Structure 1
Amino acid sequence: LYLKKRRNVLDQIHSGHFGINKCLEKARQMVWWPGLTEDVKRTVENCTDCLKHRVNITEPLRPSPIPNRPWEIEGADLFVFERQTYLCMQDYFSKFIEMVTLKSMSTETLKHAYWTIFSRQGIPTTVRCDNGTALVSREMQIFAKELGFSIVTSSPHFPQSNGQAERGVEI
């Protein structure tokens, strides 16, 4: 095919905005020219519509800071097991887990649970958690400020970034 016609053929092949493999399969049924595979790959990879609507399922790796002592950094997560709500806190240094049964999901109940754990282990520097309403409420932010620790949240669509607490819940 002439070079001018190749562009039109590539646009037709990719008109459904399918991925590289589907477009290559379609192209091989219709045409062939030297470098067809590379041309199809380049067309799909540089499609502005595909780039704009592509779902990026990975986040850049940002390693968690390594704590210097036990209970310096804690991961917190809420979970329900057999109709009972629990707070799971896991120490990033020792991997030790503390669980507290919660009577409700209110901020007051959560503050009491934090205080129960802190009275045994000490107040951490940082508590890492997901974006759960009770975990990041204004009252919890004030509570954290009063006690001198920070609350660091994970990305809303990427709870794995609070992997320590998520792993604690799996256990």
Structure 2
Amino acid sequence: MLQGDVHHTMKLPDPSRPGQERQVYLFAWLDDYSRLVFGQFYWKEKLPALEDSLMKWVSLYGVPLSIYCDNGAVYSSHHLQNICASLGIQLHHSRPYRPQGRGKVEKFFQLVERSFKSEVELLVKQGKISTLNDLNNLFSLWLNKFYNRKFHSATKQAPMSRWEGNSYQLKHPPVDTLREAFLWKDERTVSLTGIISVDTNQYEVEPFLCGKKVTLRYDPYDLSCGIRVFYDGRQFKDAVPAKIHRHSKKGFQKKLSSTPPVTGLNFLEQLAETKLTKKQALSFSGLEGDLK
């Protein structure tokens, strides 16, 4: 079971407003059995961040049997429901005002606050970290070199060791299958002239479908290409662009990379190349003892 949550933890220099700061949001996914975590910071607490972080988890570790999260807007979205249905994941939500079931991921966020945040904020003040990419690189280092490799007092193992020692193997879908699962899903009624509308764009469909309610599947980051059309359980020819006003769905203007982050020694080598360690040693003192 994968627990998912988002944490409002710190601010970075705003790239669009010099001299100003902007909140960043940590999307994290924690395996309930091993306590293994993947997480990443984003500028917005929106669906693109959720789907990007979940896609990276699946790419790295496989398809979970179930997901447990709260009732926040992104976690209650139809898009997440469709992703889970496509991948065969059972989606469960905690009862409102009862966060106890998500205690493991909340404990992880507490550890982020006392171990990672304070030291990174010092680097931000010193001007040694200024971008979201810098922050995520350091967080990847902290996760893979410290948190996921340290002895956990509850399980008596390091999260990565417990994960790797489990005999149950999760499915790793092909890239095309994974991409298909993350396509946006909508329903539209085809006009009598054979046109459907998506985010102010117009697309032509087969004349046979005029007046019928169809299901659409498409990449929300690229509305300039064809849109898949389904009716009565069958797939028909893709709808082709007729008039394009938007090249991406609202809120999905910038494609987020789905490439898993570098981990372990590979990232340490990159860190050495940036010479950040020579400027400021990261002790992560909060992890010197056992993880709680």
TM-score, structure 1 normalization: 0.55
Q: Which residue of 2 aligns with 1:133?
A: 73
Give the alignment partner of residue 64 of structure 2, picking from 124, 135, 148: 124
Q: Which runs of 5+ in 1 are unaligned?
A: 1-72
Q: Which residue of 1 aligns with 2:86?
A: 146
Distance 2:88 2:43 in 1: 26
Q: How far off is 1:120 after superposition?
A: 0.3
| Number of aligned residues | 99
Aligned residue for 1:145, secondary structure, equals: helix
Q: How far off is 1:162 after superposition?
A: 1.7
1:75 and 1:89 in contact (8 A); partners too? yes
Give the alignment partner of residue 97 of structure 1, picking from 28, 37, 51: 37
Q: How far off is 1:129 after superposition?
A: 0.7
1:157 aligns with 2:100: no
Pairwise CA RMSD: 1.2
Give 1:115's aligned amino acid. Answer: M
TM-score, structure 2 normalization: 0.33
Superposed counterparts of 1:5-154, under 5 Å = 73-82=1-10, 83-154=23-94
Runs of 4+ in 1 over 2 A off after TM superposition: none
Give 2:98's aligned amino acid. Answer: F
User: Which structure has greater strand proportion?
Assistant: 2
Q: How far off is 1:158 after superposition?
A: 0.6
Aligned residue for 2:5, secondary structure, equals: strand
Provide, for residues 122-167 of structure 1, a one-character-per-residue CA deviation record: whole Å limited to 9, x for no partner: 1101111111110121111011111111221111111112222222
Q: How far off is 1:108 after superposition?
A: 2.5
Distance 1:147 1:168 in 2: 26
Percent of paired sites with the same residue: 21
User: Which structure has greater helix proportion?
Assistant: 1
Provide, for residues 55-77 of structure 1, a one-character-per-residue CA deviation record: whole Å limited to 9, x for no partner: xxxxxxxxxxxxxxxxxx11111
Q: How far off is 1:95 after superposition?
A: 1.0
Q: How far off is 1:100 after superposition?
A: 1.4
1:123 and 1:147 in contact (8 A); partners too? yes
2:24 and 2:44 in contact (8 A); partners too? no
Which is higher, the Rg of structure 1 or of structure 2? 1
Give 1:120's aligned amino acid. Answer: L
Q: Which runs of 5+ in 2 are unaligned?
A: 11-22, 112-292
Provide, for residues 66-118 of structure 1, a one-character-per-residue CA deviation record: whole Å limited to 9, x for no partner: xxxxxxx1111101111210111111111112111123222132111100111
Aligned residue for 2:59, secondary structure, equals: helix
